[in-house]
Structures are given as C-alpha cells and as structure tokens.
Structure 1
Amino acid sequence: MTVPTSLWQTFALHLDAMRPGFVLGPWFTMNAVLEFDRPLDHSALAAAFTELQRRHDVLRTEIVAGPAQYLHPLPTAELEVVDSVELHAEVPVAAPVRLRVADRRLALHLHHLVSDPVTLWTALDELALLYSAQLSGVDVPPPAAQYADYTRNEAELVERQHGAASEWWQNRITDAKACPQPSTTGGADFAYRGELLNADELTSVEQRSQSCRSTPLVTLLAGLAAGMAPYVGPGDALVLNTLLSKRDRPQWQRVLGPCIIPSVLAVPLPTGSLAADVPTIREAVLGCVKYARFPILEVPAPARTPFFEYVPQQWPSGYDFGPSRGTVHAVAGPKDTGLADALAIRLRPSADQVLTGHFSGDGTDWNQPLVAELFAGMRQYLLA
C-alpha cells in the first residue's frame, strides 16, 4: 500500500536532491535516551515495540520514488539489546525506527522523514503503555488516527487553498529579499553552539512576550531581525525558512508522524522597542502561518534563504514502564554531517532552561565571525 508524501517529506526529498545524503542518509534522525531506576523486562519490551509498530503505519513506512510512502505490512525492526547506548544511531530509511536497551538505559531513534519532536515523546508514551499492558494484561485502545489520514487531509487542504495562498505569497514575498549576503571574503563551514540567554534572561523574555500578548517565537524573531538589521538595506524585509507545527485538529495531537510544514517567514525589520516591534512581527507571522499549507518550492523566496527554528522545551517529566520509572537523559535531532546550508539558526531551551543556539553554515556569505556579531546583536536587543 502506498500513500502520498506530506509537504514536509516532499520538501525533505528536495533537500536531499540538492545535498545528497542530507536527508536520505542514516543520521537524519530524532533521538531520545531514557534512564530507568530499575532494569526493564526485555521480553515484554520487545513485544511492546513490535505492537507499537503494528499499531502505527508510519513506523513501517519507507519513502519510495514517486515520491510516495510505501507501508510495509509487518514491523521492520526488532528490539536491540546492547552493551551501551549512544544518543545518535544510524536509522535506514527503509526501516525508520530503532529501539535499543542497555542495562537501565533505553534509546529510541526515529528517522526524521517519519517523525517530529511530538512523535518522539508520543511514541515513548505509548511504548510505556504497551509495556505496562504486557505485564498486566490490560488492553490499550487503538490510536485515534494514522499518519496517512493526516497526509490525505493535508493534500485536500493544499488543493482547496492553493489559489488564495498563491496570491498571498506572491504579494508578500515577491518584492522582499533575504538579508543580503554580507561577507565579501567568505569562510569555512562552521557549526557551533552557544548560550544565547541564561535561565533568568529566558524567563524575562517569556514574561515580556506575555505582556506583549505574544509568544517567545515572535519575540526571538524580533531579536533575530534586530541582529541582522545592520546587514539589511532600508525597506528590506527579512525572509527566513522555518518549520511550523500543524497539529491543528484534535486527532492530530497524538498521531505519530511529522505534522510539520516547511514554510517561509517574511519579517519586518525592527523600528523601535521590543514592545513596539512585537505586534507587527506577530501579525506577519500569523499571516505566514495562515497560508503555510502551500508547496514551499512554489513560494517566490530569494535564493539562499537562512533557516530559523525555535522549539520550546518539551521534555516530559518521565515515563512509567510498569514498575520502572524512566526519565529523559538526553535528546538530539539530526547529527551534523557537514552538509551545511547558507545559514541555519536553531534555538532550544535546555533542561535547566538555558536558551542554546545552534549555528551552522557553509561560510560562503554568512561566515562565523558575522554570525557571532549577529548573536551579540540579538542578545543586546532582547535584554534591552
């Protein structure tokens, strides 16, 4: 059985065509490691893992030419009992899930073509329920929806809204241009992490967002625009690529699969204080979100558009696998394989609420010294 790929999956395949191995390689994964207060029953865990795959088509999905998703009729992976687990593990596209256990640690690895951050946590939550059911004999209700339901619904919405969305993006993006390529010398590929805000500073930014009736995403975008402002000409708009969550129906809240959409943000430059800038940027973001269900490759965005993503802290407090209590030990997205794009900025709060920035690029235009200046300008604006 085959079903259409989602907007995210289709775009991801385009990324791989541009940078072979970036997506279809084995390191394009979502990963989590749990640590338990006592050992797990391997037999019950293996049965729960098999049942998890049986219940969710997306965990048996292989992306094939077309593009399309081929749903394997039977589970494609088995529990791996190993001496130790690492945060990252290779996950082949043809069998997009791995589960490894070593002593009191459990590692779940999902290929990013079939998962997003919500999928990671929901899959672990259901795995815990199925494991507990194996021990107690209690039945677990079937899932409310499959990812194929989501992709079909998405395709219908894209077709229905295509005309209005196309007109909106043409009017919004055609005359905008990305932040000009400021470097005249270029540089080497770079990838590094840095602390953007400490816990107290992040709390202050979140409180200021609430006082402006907005969200941290919008406030951080305002800071990013301020940091880039020295490199943007008067009247220019800041155009960014991003990923937007689209779990906007009750049945999508817990469905396994990447309910995300690649989209574009056209952000006006700051003109004053944070309180003055946030409402304008919020309205721009809301417009982009409204028309996000549109093929991103049809959006007339400038070439080499920077990528920006903010993911709030979503780590659950823990999971009960029968009598065993598991807590989150570590989490990571795709492994850096050196296939850098123009510029990517990913912001994540850590477990201790420090806002960490992951910055990467190919050095062609945004080189590392310029990104360090951008980083400092963003901090200065947010803390002013």
Structure 2
Amino acid sequence: MTIPLTYAQELLDEVERHDPTRIRGPRFTVERSYTVTGAIDPAVLATALDDVVVRHEALRTVRDGAEQRILPPVPVGLDTGGGGFDGPLPGGQVPALRARLVGGRLDLAAHHGAADPWSLSVLARDVVTAYHARLAGGRLDAAVMQYADIAADDRSPQWQKRIAEVVPRWRERLCGLGPSAPRTLSGEAERACPLAMVTFALGDDLWRAVGATARRARSTPFTLLLAAFAAAMCPAGDTAEAVLPVITPGRIPSEWDTVGFLLNVLTLRIPMTGDPDPADLLRRVDAACRQAYADDIPLVPVLRAVPGLLDVLVGARAVPAFRYVARPDMTPPIEQPRFTLTPLGAETPPTVILGTPILVTVHPGGRGEVAYDPGLVTASHVERLVEAYLAVLPAFAGAGR
C-alpha cells in the first residue's frame, strides 16, 4: 500500500535540507528505558512486541521518494544481551522498533521517522496490554487510527482549504522574521556533539502557585510558564519582542493512540516593551497562545509562506524553544497486571529531531530539563538561562495577587 507523506514528514525533509545528515543519519532514533515490575516471560514478551508491530503500521512503513509504503509485519526480535543499543537503526529497516530486556529493565528504540516521544509512551502501554492478552489466550486489538489515516487527512480538500485560510494570518504575524531577527547564541563553532542536559525543579509550593494563578487568570499552567520564559529570555530593555517557538505533540484526541512522527511547532511573537508587569505579560501571552492554537496548522505551509522562519527555529542562530509535556493517562487497562513498565530517565527530547539548539521542557508537577547542543551553546549560557527563569517565575506565579 502506497500513501503520501504527512506534513510532519515533510518538516523532517525541510530540516534535513537545512542541516544535512541530521535526519538521514543512521542514529536518528527515539529511545526510552522502562523499569520492569513483576514476573515476565521473554518468549511471551517477544510475541507481544510482534503484536504491537501488527497494530501500528508506522513501524513497518518505508519511504519511497515523495511517498511511503506499508509492508507486512516482521518480527522485532527481543534482545536479551547486556549494554545499550549498539548499532544504527536505518530508516529503510522494518520493523522500525528495537527492544532489549536486561534484568529489570526494558529498553525501547524506534526510528524517529516512524515514532516520536509520545509514540514511545503508546508503544510501552501497548506492549504491556499485548503481553497480558497473550497470557489470556488472545491478541492485542489491531484497530487504531493509523499514520496512513493522518497522511490522507493532511491532503484532504477540507484540510487544504483550512490551511489556505490560516496561512495568511501566520504570514502577517511572522512578517519580518528571518536570518537577521534571532540573536546569536553564545557557543563554540563546532557541532557534532551529543546533546547535553540540565535539569531543574520548581518545587511543590511554586508548582501549586502556578496552577492557582493560572486558574484565577482563566489561563493554563503552560501559558503562565511560557510567559515567565518570555520574561527570562528578554530582560527589561534587552529586546523589543520575544520570539517563542513552542513544540507541540501535533495530535488531536482522535490521534492520541497513533504511532508516528507528528510533532509540530507554533511560533509566537510577543511585544516586550519596557519592564512588563507579570499579569499584563501573562494576558498578552495568553491571547497569543489562543490565536496560535486556533490557527494550528502544520509548520511546513507556514515555512513556505515566511521565508527565513526555518533559520529562526534551527541551527546556530535559532532562538530557544519551549514545550510543556502533558499527556493523557497511558496506564494499560488491566485490573491485575502480571508486570508493568515505569519510565526510567528522560525521554529523547525533540531538539534532537528539529535541530533547535536549546529546548526547555516543563512537566506537570514542576520537573523540567533543558536539552542543548554543546557544539553551539555553552553550559554556562544554559545555566544562566535556567537561573533567570527560576528567578522570574515566582513573580508570575503570584501575578495579580
């Protein structure tokens, strides 16, 4: 079966043209480790993994120029050796999934053209569900919205009409952005470095204050966190505006169980005049967020309408990106599970995919991390950014009191 590319896949092509070998490279993978709780039969687990490949067509789909083809299911092959994943996962290999069971840990890796971080959460849930279905003599339900369905929706007349209506508004909002707009980050010239990570935590009291203030303002924790980030990025008098790329899951509720690459980016532009009052800046960021999400379309048509926008998002002159990770409950629907999977460590951040030099992520509860390219950005630069963010956030969490 041959299907068109999704807009998200076209975005990967745009990034590849801007930064060759980033997407086509053999280690373009998303990985996550999980702690295994309970007894587990490796043979049943291997069968469960194969059932997951049957359920999710994206894991057995290969690119063919401007199209893609869905292939028949192929066994995953559960690795029970030690160490980490020691080899590349080429984009043309199916299934685009690897699994290794070592002691009390299960490692999952997928080619990023077939899965994004959200997808790994879906896969981990479905592996547990498939395992228990096999123990009961059944199989994992294969009925789910497929990546091919999203590709078809992307090219539907209704969606094309919607994109044509919305693109002019994005062009007007982002007019004038280009190579000269972003500030150069402080970093070394060489790239080709693995991502580095700095973690931080808001603390329980501050996190509760964020939620309470957002509710009073009839806004959301994400919007408040983003407003504080704008203030940290643009101290008083430093610049006339904040350019805020927000990485989104690119999913609507009907696509929550779909495996594939769906990430999207919404670029906000916020005026930053004088020393903004936190409550006032929160209102302006809230208004900008509402407009952006109301006009949420794939990034690729926006890139084509706003020359130079990709330079703002990717590479040495790109501005830091932001995301707030809030996903639906991925607990398997099993009353008495024989085994469970609990995420261990941080997931692969989207900055490895989209080429952003700095990505700030905040999770529900106030845990956060900054992933950055040490070939472009120094550790001290990132540490100063985190310090500035944590310094201004309490004022926003108390905005309007």
Same fold judged by TM-score > 0.5?
yes
In the alignment, structure 1 segments of 5+ residues that lack a partner are none
Q: Corresponding residue for 2:126?
A: 126
242, 245, 249: which one pairs with 2:249? Answer: 245
Q: Secondary structure at the match of 2:76?
A: coil
Distance 2:163 2:354 in 1: 31
Q: Corresponding residue for 2:223?
A: 218
Q: Corresponding residue for 2:69?
A: 70
Distance 1:144 1:165 in 2: 29
Distance 2:330 2:54 in 1: 27
Distance 2:237 2:181 in 1: 5
Displacement of 1:139: 4.6
Q: Corresponding residue for 1:346?
A: 360
**CA offsets 1:354-381 (integer angstroms, 9 cap, x no match):** 3222233654xx6655544433332222
Indicate conservation of the 8 Å contact 2:202/2:390, yes or no. no
Indicate conservation of the 8 Å contact 2:31/2:108, yes or no. yes
**CA offsets 1:338-369 (integer angstroms, 9 cap, x no match):** x995632231439x853222233654xx6655
Q: Secondary structure at the match of 1:81?
A: coil
TM-score (norm 1): 0.84
Q: Corresponding residue for 2:172?
A: 171
Q: Secondary structure at the match of 1:37?
A: strand
Query: Residues 86 and 330 (structure 1 numbering): CA distance in 2 closer, same or farther, change over 3 Å?
Result: farther
Matched, 1:204 2:203: no
Q: CA RMSD in A?
A: 3.3
**CA offsets 1:13-54 (integer angstroms, 9 cap, x no match):** 221232232222233322222222344212211222112112
Query: Residues 173 and 340 (structure 1 numbering): CA distance in 2 closer, same or farther, change over 3 Å?
Result: closer
Distance 1:285 1:260 in 2: 17
Q: Corresponding residue for 1:374?
A: 385
Q: Secondary structure at the match of 1:292?
A: coil
Displacement of 1:88: 8.5
Distance 1:32 1:71 in 2: 25
Distance 1:43 1:256 in 2: 24
Query: Residues 196 and 324 (structure 1 numbering): CA distance in 2 closer, same or farther, change over 3 Å?
Result: closer
Q: Corresponding residue for 1:332?
A: 347
Distance 1:34 1:286 in 2: 36
Percent identity, aligned pairs only?
19
Aligned ranges 1:86-165 → 2 under 5 Å:
86=84, 90-94=88-92, 95=94, 96-156=96-156, 157-165=158-166
**CA offsets 1:245-285 (integer angstroms, 9 cap, x no match):** 333243x1212223332332223337533222112112112
Aligned length: 375
Aligned ranges 1:259-274 → 2 under 5 Å:
259-269=262-272, 272-274=276-278
Q: Corresponding residue for 2:371?
A: 358
Distance 1:26 1:259 in 2: 20
Query: Residues 33 and 369 (structure 1 numbering): CA distance in 2 closer, same or farther, change over 3 Å?
Result: closer
Distance 2:87 2:209 in 1: 37
Indicate conservation of the 8 Å contact 1:342/1:361, yes or no. no
TM-score (norm 2): 0.80
Query: Residues 257 and 334 (structure 1 numbering): CA distance in 2 closer, same or farther, change over 3 Å?
Result: same
Q: Secondary structure at the match of 2:225?
A: helix
Query: Residues 335 and 176 (structure 1 numbering): CA distance in 2 closer, same or farther, change over 3 Å?
Result: closer
Query: Residues 34 and 368 (structure 1 numbering): CA distance in 2 closer, same or farther, change over 3 Å?
Result: closer
Q: Secondary structure at the match of 2:98?
A: strand
Distance 1:12 1:342 in 2: 13
Matched, 1:310 2:323: yes
